């Protein structure tokens, strides 16, 4: 019997994850997410983890890619933790790279006023 994968499986059980905005800056969202993903590798996560930050060659000892498009495989999940003004172009790059899902962890959108609302609309488009 053949079972089709539910369309949300790559979101909730991703086989490849990119943390866009990963860093080693103490207390930053990028560092917290990167550290949590590395802890998940230690706890038995079998998928691949990629870090994206053009300002770093490595993050916590793993290679850091310049962009999501330079990652050598398609992603199930991209987690974007950058400044709001960079999010629309990163979401666009995720689409070009074939990422199946994206989670945005950033402030400065509709809750910040009209400019942020415009950024949010652009990211959604």
100 sits in the region (left: phi over 0; alpha: psi -120 to 50; else beta) called alpha
pLDDT tens for residues 17-36? 999 999 999 999 999 999 99
Q: What pTM was computed for the model?
A: 0.89
Query: How many Å apart are CA 34 and CA 39, to the nearest integer?
Result: 9
User: How does DSSP classify residue 66?
Assistant: S
Place of tokens 């942020």: 116
Parallel, antiparallel, or unpaired: how do β-strands 102-104 and 77-80 relate? parallel
pLDDT tens for residues 76-100? 999 999 999 999 999 999 999 999 9
Ordered by where they begin, the domains of the chain are 11-124 (3.40.50.720)
């Amino acid at each position: 019997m053949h079972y089709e994968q539910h369309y949300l499986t790559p979101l909730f059980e991703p086989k490849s994850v990119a943390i866009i905005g990963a860093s080693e800056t103490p207390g930053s969202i990028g560092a917290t997410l990167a550290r949590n993903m590395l802890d998940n590798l230690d706890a038995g996560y079998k998928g691949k983890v990629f870090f994206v930050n053009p300002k770093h060659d490595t993050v916590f000892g793993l290679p850091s890619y310049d962009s999501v498009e330079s990652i050598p495989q398609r992603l199930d999940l991209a987690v974007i933790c950058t400044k709001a003004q960079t999010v629309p172009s990163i979401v666009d790059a995720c689409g070009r790279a074939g990422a199946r899902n994206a989670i945005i962890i950033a402030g400065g959108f509709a809750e910040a006023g009209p400019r942020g609302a415009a950024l949010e609309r652009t990211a959604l488009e």
